[in-house]
């Protein structure tokens, strides 16, 4: 069966520090991968999605970047975090864009 | 105006009540997704549908393509149904657009 792993569960970082959040999927190949952010009291916002290795689409301009170095690995990064980057980050996968997405447990990021 | 609007924003019900959460969208969609987010933040996919009706246990989702409207119904609600329910549209342009969510509290 397929599983999705996302870590860490919580992270506290100072403003200006770098960020790397990792997401891996097991039990499937060539999945669509997604990064979402949920700011406090707000809805989900799609940040990036990827349909294959090295193929990243950005949905909104921002301080973050994403990479997919391997088929089932999706990384969310920043060189310098801003206060506004605080939020709940979720990784998800689906077999294709019109199939239900399966979510990781999320990373709660606090910027101080 | 958001492309995906949910109502109500907050809903409190007594255990056993029939619950309806509504979602209206203003864009062309290829599919509509209902998600459940638990208090700890974890998200579970409930339904993805592009027409008609789907049922899973006590949950029913319907969609009316002509009216650009979907509903999520919960029969015989239970306190464990308390969560945020999120409607998401997969648009024809290839984007995912989310409603702001409906916070449901079911009291025993």
pLDDT band at B76 (very low <50, low <70, confident <90, very high): very high
- Whether chain B has a CB inside 8 Å of the CB on A90: the answer is yes
Nearest CA in chain A to B88: A44
DSSP B83: E
CA pair distance B12, B50, nearest whole angstrom: 29
pLDDT tens digits, one per residue of B91-108: 776 677 889 999 999 999
Instruction: Find out whether the peptide bond into A8 is cis, omega within 30 degrees of 0.
Output: yes
For A68-105, b/e burial (b = at least 16 CB within 10 A) is beeebebbbebeebeeebbbbbbbbbbeebebbbbbbb
> What local confidence, expressed as pLDDT, does residue A78 receive?
95
pLDDT at A25 (0 to 100): 96
DSSP-assigned beta bridge partners for residue A11: A109
- CA–CA dist B69, A33 (Å, integer): 27
Q: Give the pLDDT score at B68.
A: 94
Pull the structure tokens for residue B26. 């203003």
- The answer to whether the bond into B8 is cis (omega within 30° of 0) is yes
Q: For residue B78, is pLDDT > 90?
A: yes
Cβ contact, residue pair B43, A103, below 8 Å = yes
Which residues in chain B are closer than 8 Å to A102, comparing Cβ atoms?
Answer: 45
For residue B2 the two structure tokens come to 């958001």
Counting as low any pLDDT under 50, the low residues of chain A are: none
pLDDT of B28 reads: 85
Which of helix, strand or coil describes residue B30?
A: strand
pLDDT of residue A20: 95
The per-residue pLDDT for B91 is 77
Task: State yes or no: pLDDT of B39 exceeds 90.
Answer: no
Please choose, from the candidates B23, B26, B25, B30, the residue with its C-alpha nearest in 3D space to the C-alpha of residue B6.
B23
**Mean predicted confidence (pLDDT) in B35-43:** 88
Q: Is the pLDDT of residue B1 over 70?
A: no
Give the residue, B40 or A11, on which the prediction is more confident: A11
3 state SS for chain A: CCEEEEECCEEEECCCCCEEEEEEEECCCCCEEEEEEECCCCCEEEEEEEEECCEEEECCCCCCEEEEEECCEEEEEECCCCHHHCEEEEEEEECCCCCCCEECCCEEEEEC
- Percentage of chain B surpassing pLDDT 90? 74
The pLDDT assigned to B106 comes to: 97
Nearest to B43 among A42, A49, A90 (CB): A90
The two three-digit tokens of residue A1, written as one number: 């069966």
Q: What is the radius of gyration, based on Cα positions, of chain B?
A: 13
Mean pLDDT of B25-35: 90
How high is the pLDDT of residue A31? 94
Residues of chain A found within 8 Å of residue B44, distances taken between Cβ atoms: 103
Which phi and psi angles does B81 have, rounded to 5°? Answer: -80, -10
pLDDT value of residue B94: 65
């Amino acid at each position: 069966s397929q599983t999705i792993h996302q870590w860490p569960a919580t992270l506290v970082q100072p403003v200006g520090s770098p960020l790397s959040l990792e997401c891996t999927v097991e039990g499937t190949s060539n999945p669509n991968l997604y990064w979402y952010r949920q700011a406090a009291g707000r809805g989900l916002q799609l940040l990036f999605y990827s349909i294959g290795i090295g193929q990243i689409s950005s949905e909104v301009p921002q301080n973050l970047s994403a990479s997919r170095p391997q088929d089932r690995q999706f990384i969310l990064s920043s060189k310098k975090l801003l206060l506004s980057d605080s939020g709940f980050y979720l990784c998800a996968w689906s077999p294709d864009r019109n199939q239900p997405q399966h979510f990781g447990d999320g990373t709660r990021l606090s910027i101080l | 105006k958001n492309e995906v609007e949910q109502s109500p924003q907050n809903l409190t019900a007594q255990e056993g009540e029939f619950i309806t959460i509504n979602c209206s969208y203003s864009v062309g969609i290829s599919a509509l997704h209902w998600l459940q987010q638990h208090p700890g933040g974890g998200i579970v996919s409930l339904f993805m549908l592009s027409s008609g009706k789907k049922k899973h246990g006590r949950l029913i989702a319907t969609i009316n393509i002509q009216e650009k409207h979907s509903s999520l119904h919960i029969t015989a609600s239970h306190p464990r149904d308390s969560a945020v329910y999120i409607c998401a549209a997969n648009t024809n342009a290839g984007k995912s657009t989310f409603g702001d969510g409906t916070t449901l509290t079911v009291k025993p």
